[in-house]
């Protein structure tokens, strides 16, 4: 497993792999790795000859300086976690490598970026799309693996690759959960002990709403009840809880498959997101 910080070094390696006809898989991350990321690495190993894990805390996708400052930077422990998986390269560029002086390009994707997380985090998906496009071009990966936990991000990345004809096949990997249902996230460590006990109520309420919707309860009723349950459990705010079409994320007032229920809610000053198929 080689730690690479510069694009020149990365290109030397990926050129040799491509010349040898090898398929390159990439798992883009911001580090602070957990089992969710490792599941992407497993999928990448199974579906590629060579695997690159990128670790870059991307400043342009944070719309809050404090959130960016607080984001855990744990390269040593990330490397230790990746070591048993046979990852070939960890690409951890610096900010000046990704955004050199004079950098002026932003990729903005309409439609799937709008609403949900896009509504409350202006510019977030522009930052994601721009950095992911750079990572695709820099790694020249044939395959890329993203978690379904960030379902809107996954749709944005698929749109990006399709619209810009970037020859990379995108695979969405299932959300990994704790035994009590809480979706794994690098932000979970910021929950208090009490908050950690409350947190699974989000997924539980979403599941109950999903079942009710499939059994014919009107969507708005099922969502109102779920929101009440989430707040009653101790969450401070439900930022959104919406039923959307799985492909294209159009809002759904009535259930038609395939659909996704997506939520963001605040607990202990931490923003948790989750989604389920309905």
Q: Which one of 37, 124, 220, 255 is the catalytic residue?
A: 37
Residue written as tokens 């990330």? 78
Name which of residues 239 to 268 contact ligand PAF (CB under 6 A): none
Find out whether 105 and 133 touch, Cβ atoms under 8 Å. no
- If the CB atoms of residues 58 and 275 are measured against ligand PAF, the closer one turns out to be 58
Binding characters for ligand PAF, 146-185, by CB under 6 A (x = yes): ----x--x--------------------------------
Range 39-78, binding ligand PAF (CB under 6 A)? 58, 61
For the CB of residue 50, give the shortest distance to ligand PAF in the complex, in Å.
Answer: 19
Q: Which of 116, 131, 222, 267 binds ligand PAF (CB under 6 A)?
A: 131
Nearer to ligand PAF, 172 or 195 (CB): 172
Stretch that binds ligand PAF, among 25-33, 66-74, 78-86, 250-258 (CB under 6 A): 25-33
Nearer to ligand PAF, 219 or 263 (CB): 263
Report the residue number, 133 or 231, with the smaller CB distance to ligand PAF.
133
Label residue 115 exposed, middle or buried (CB < 10 Å: 0-12, 13-18, 19+).
Answer: middle
Smallest gap, in angstroms, from Cβ of residue 131 to ligand PAF?
A: 5
132 binds ligand PAF (CB under 6 A): yes
- The residue range among 62-70, 126-134, 218-226, 237-245 that interacts with ligand PAF, by the rule CB under 6 A, is 126-134
User: Residue 56 CB, nearest distance to ligand PAF (Å)?
Assistant: 6
From 4, 107, 128, 262, residue interacting with ligand PAF (rule: CB under 6 A): 128
SS3 string, the chain, reads: CEEECCHHHHHHHHHHHHHCCCCEEEEEECCCCCHHHHHHHHHHHHHCCEEEEEECCCHHHCCCHHHHHHCCCCHHHHHHHHHHHCCCEEECCCHHHHCCCCCCCCCCCCCCCCCCHHHHCCCHHHHHHHHHHHHHHHHCCCEEEEEHHHHHHHHHHHHHHHHCCCCCEEEEECCCECCCCCECCHHHHHCCHHHHHHCCHHHHHHHHHHHHHHCCCCHHHHHHHHHHHHHHHCCCEEEEEEEEECCCCCECCCCCCCEEEEEEEEECCEEEEEEEEC
Catalytic residue list contains 220: no
**Nearer to ligand PAF among residue 55 and residue 230 (C-beta):** 55
4, 24, 26, 30: which one binds ligand PAF (CB under 6 A) = 30
Q: CA-to-CA distance for 116 and 180, rounded, in angstroms? A: 25
Q: Which residues make up the interface to ligand PAF (CB under 6 A)?
A: 28-30, 58, 61, 128, 131-132, 150, 153
The residues annotated as belonging to the active site are 37
């Amino acid at each position: 497993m080689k730690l690479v910080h510069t694009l020149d070094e990365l290109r030397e390696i990926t050129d040799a792999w491509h010349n040898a006809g090898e398929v390159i898989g990439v798992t883009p991350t911001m580090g602070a790795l957990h089992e969710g990321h490792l599941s992407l690495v497993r999928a990448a190993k199974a579906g590629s000859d060579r695997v690159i894990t990128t670790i870059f805390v991307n400043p342009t996708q944070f719309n809050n300086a404090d959130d960016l400052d607080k984001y855990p930077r744990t390269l040593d422990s990330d490397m230790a976690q990746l070591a048993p998986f046979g990852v070939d390269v960890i690409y951890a560029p610096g900010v000046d490598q990704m955004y050199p002086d004079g950098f002026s390009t932003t990729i903005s994707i309409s439609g799937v970026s709008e609403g949900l997380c896009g509504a409350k985090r202006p510019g977030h998906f522009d930052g994601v799309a721009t950095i992911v496009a750079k990572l695709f071009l820099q790694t020249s990966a044939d395959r890329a693996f993203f978690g379904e936990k960030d379902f809107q991000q996954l749709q944005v990345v698929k749109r990006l690759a399709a619209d810009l004809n970037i020859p990379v096949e995108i695979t969405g990997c299932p959300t990994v959960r704790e035994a009590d249902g809480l979706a794994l996230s690098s932000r979970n460590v910021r929950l208090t002990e009490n908050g950690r006990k409350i947190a699974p109520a989000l997924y539980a309420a979403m599941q109950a709403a999903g079942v009710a919707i499939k059994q014919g309860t009107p969507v708005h009723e099922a969502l109102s009840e779920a929101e009440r349950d989430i707040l009653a459990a101790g969450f401070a705010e439900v930022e959104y809880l919406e039923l959307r079409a799985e492909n294209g994320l159009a809002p759904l007032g009535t259930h038609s498959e395939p659909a996704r229920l997506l939520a963001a809610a605040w607990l202990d000053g931490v923003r948790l997101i989750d989604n389920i198929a309905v």
